[in-house]
Amino acid sequence: MPRKLAAGNWKMNGTTAALSELASIGHADIDVLICPPATLIAAAAAAAGDGLSIGGQDCHTGISGAHTGDIAAPMLADAGAKYVIVGHSERRTDHGETSETVRAKAEAALAAGLTPIICIGETLAEREAGATLQILTDQLAASTPDDATGANTVIAYEPVWAIGTGLVATTDQIAEVHAHLRADLTARFGAAGTDIALLYGGSVKAANAVEIFATPEVNGALVGGASLKASDFQPIVDALAAS
């Protein structure tokens, strides 16, 4: 069985004052993660309690070098990160990241001892064209390293049209995709593929978390807007723990 993970992605939000939110986020029984902006990772790792991990939102494919503004995976680990999000659709769109780049980033994360959270998702145009499952199969295959296991890698399905829009995929849509991704993972990795956590992301809120977590093959969530305040995020954490 995959481990449950409730992951928050603060994106480009938060200064030092936001660290006070971390005091009331966490859980003893499931994995809980906040990925703050890189400027806050070290302070967040110091502030987080036992039931909360801290992660990065992106990393470079290399370990050091002449790459102004970029951050290497070992630097994130050194700052106290345990995870790193790679291939978020905002990175794929804003920075032109391909699945091949995302895979190289995931490999860099693994080499640094970080757990990559590899994001994949279809656009609205791709869904309307009936291409969703093929797009996701292709993204998953190209973005996931060969040595991925349930112990070192997490996959997040985030339909691009559901991120930050208030539009949530229906539980039927989520169930169809997650069953498809699970089949892809077991076809490639065998039994190990059954242990890789599959997160759903896209406008997850306390109000829809219970039904999303009751959906087959949903092992957690990647949450943007509703992770910024502990009062919004901790109920999602508790709903996952109770699911």
Interface with ligand PGA by CB under 6 A: which range of 70-78, 126-134, 184-192, 201-209?
Answer: 201-209
Restricting to residues 151-180, name those near ligand PGA by CB under 6 A: 158, 163-164
Question: How far does Cα 227 stand from its chain's mean position?
Answer: 12
Is 209 among the residues that bind ligand PGA (CB under 6 A)?
no
Q: What's the rounded Cα separation, in Å, for the pair 196 and 5?
A: 11
Please say whether the beta carbons of 115 and 82 come within 8 A.
yes
Kindly compute the dihedral angle of the four CA atoms of residues 135, 196, 107, 174, in this order, to the nearest 10 degrees: 30
Q: Which residue is nearest to ligand PGA (CB)?
A: 224
Q: What's the rounded Cα separation, in Å, for the pair 40 and 243?
A: 31
Question: How far does Cα 134 stand from its chain's mean position?
Answer: 21
Query: Of 5 and 163, which CB lies nearer to ligand PGA in the complex structure?
Result: 163
Query: Of 157 and 189, which CB lies nearer to ligand PGA in the complex structure?
Result: 157
Of 105, 116, 224, 240, the one binding ligand PGA by CB under 6 A: 224
Q: What's the rounded Cα separation, in Å, for the pair 21 and 8?
A: 12
Query: Of 148 and 222, which CB lies nearer to ligand PGA in the complex structure?
Result: 222
Kindly compute the dihedral angle of the four CA atoms of residues 51, 8, 149, 49, in this order, to the nearest 10 degrees: -20
Is 201 among the residues that bind ligand PGA (CB under 6 A)?
yes
Query: Of 48 and 223, which CB lies nearer to ligand PGA in the complex structure?
Result: 223
Instruction: Pick the catalytic residue from 90, 97, 158, 217.
Output: 158
Query: Of 111 and 206, which CB lies nearer to ligand PGA in the complex structure?
Result: 206
Nearest of 54, 57, 50 to residue 19 by alpha carbon: 54
For the CB of residue 199, give the shortest distance to ligand PGA in the complex, in Å: 9
For the CB of residue 192, give the shortest distance to ligand PGA in the complex, in Å: 25
Beta-ladder partners of 222: 7, 201
Beta-ladder partners of 117: 85, 154
Q: How many residues bind ligand PGA (CB under 6 A)?
A: 13
Is 202 among the residues that bind ligand PGA (CB under 6 A)?
yes
Residue 180 is among the residues annotated as catalytic for this protein:
no
The secondary element (H helix, E strand) that includes residue 139 is helix 132-143
Interface with ligand PGA by CB under 6 A: which range of 15-23, 31-39, 137-145, 219-227?
Answer: 219-227
Q: Which residues bind ligand PGA (CB under 6 A)?
A: 9, 158, 163-164, 201-204, 222-226
The set of catalytic residues is 88, 158
